[in-house]
Amino acid sequence: MKPQIRLHRGAFELRASVHLSQNIDVVFNFFSDARNLELITPPMLSFSTLTPSPIVMKVGALIDYRLKIRGLPLRWRTEITAWDPPHRFEDTQLKGPYRQWIHEHLFFKDGDGTRMEDIVRYKVLGGRLVNRLFVAPDVLRIFNYRNQILQENLQNSVLGSES
């Protein structure tokens, strides 16, 4: 499913879905390794993980990142607020560019592979106008890039090497 954003219960909500040929355990392990986020984030964000390895994923885990949004350097801190391997995990922004950012990752067996869904609920300073002009296009670009990279490259290389 191509990423889409809509207004839902006072927040913007992005929904995206991608089907991968690997089994649910392989896909969940890939997405739950915070360092892999660097592989599926557009280079324009200069995204890097600051938290030293190994990062033990569990409810309450804190992860720090550095990135650039429209050239502006920022730090981002998230907390893992739900952890249910291999079906679901959720990270919530504690510090970063958004008024709110809650990202739920869902994993479903789908035939011989896995369907991974993203649901992101976010709020921005400036509301609908700022979202429409700046934030939504950037968020859609990020998730479109992510799905493209997964389909073109990781599908058969990084993920495929673990099955």
Give yes or no for residue 157 having a pLDDT over 80: no
Taking CA atoms, 76 is separated from 30, 48, 103, 136, in Å, by 21, 10, 13, 18
Whole-angstrom Cα distance, residue 90 to residue 1?
20
pLDDT band at 91 (very low <50, low <70, confident <90, very high): very high
Segment 89-115 shows an average pLDDT of 96
- CB of 115 closer than 8 Å to CB of 19: yes
- Which pLDDT value is given to residue 154? 55
pLDDT at 30 over 90: yes
Please state the pTM of the whole predicted model. 0.91
- Residue 155: pLDDT band by 50, 70, 90 thresholds? low
The average pLDDT across 92-112 equals: 96
72 forms bridges with which residues in the sheet? Answer: 69
